[in-house]
Amino acid sequence: MQKRGIVVLGVSADDVLSHQKFAEKYGLPFPLLSDTDTTVSQIYGVYKEKNMYGKKYMGVNRETFLIDKDGIVRKAWHKVKPEEHANEVLETVDALNL
């Protein structure tokens, strides 16, 4: 993606230290931004009620936004699976001629 001029950023409500550990563990080639007060997550509508084992709580959904050079959201993917997702994003970049 870097060769294509695509900037990848990860954002979650976790703190900076947990992001550092996660990035090192999985060898992430992009920065993770900390949104501990969930301001960014709420703006993008990804801070939502979740349900695990019958217990409801608020959390950040794993979603992707393709934002063009003018700051316009061109595509959004919801509940993504990271293992298969990068190719999907590249195909969309090609289809939209970005």
Tens-place pLDDT, residues 31-52:
999 999 999 999 999 999 999 9
* DSSP SS3 for 17: helix
pLDDT over 90 at 98, yes or no: no
The residue with greater pLDDT, 80 or 15, is: 15
CATH 3.40.30.10 fits 2-95, yes or no: yes
pLDDT attached to residue 86: 86
**Dist CA 48 CA 44 (whole Å):** 11
Q: What type of residue is 41?
A: S
**Integer Cα distance of 38 and 89 in angstroms:** 25
Question: Which pTM does this prediction carry?
Answer: 0.80
Share of the chain above pLDDT 90, in %: 67
CA dihedral sign of residues 41, 28, 85, 9: positive
d(CA 8, CA 69): 13
Specify the residue for token string 């990068």.
Answer: 86
Residue 56 has pLDDT above 90, yes or no: yes
Ordered by start, the domain boundaries in the chain are: 2-95
**CB contact set of 7 (below 8 Å; sequence gap of 6+):** 30
Least confidently predicted of 1-5, 33-37, 57-61: 1-5
Q: Which residue has the higher pLDDT, 96 or 3?
A: 96
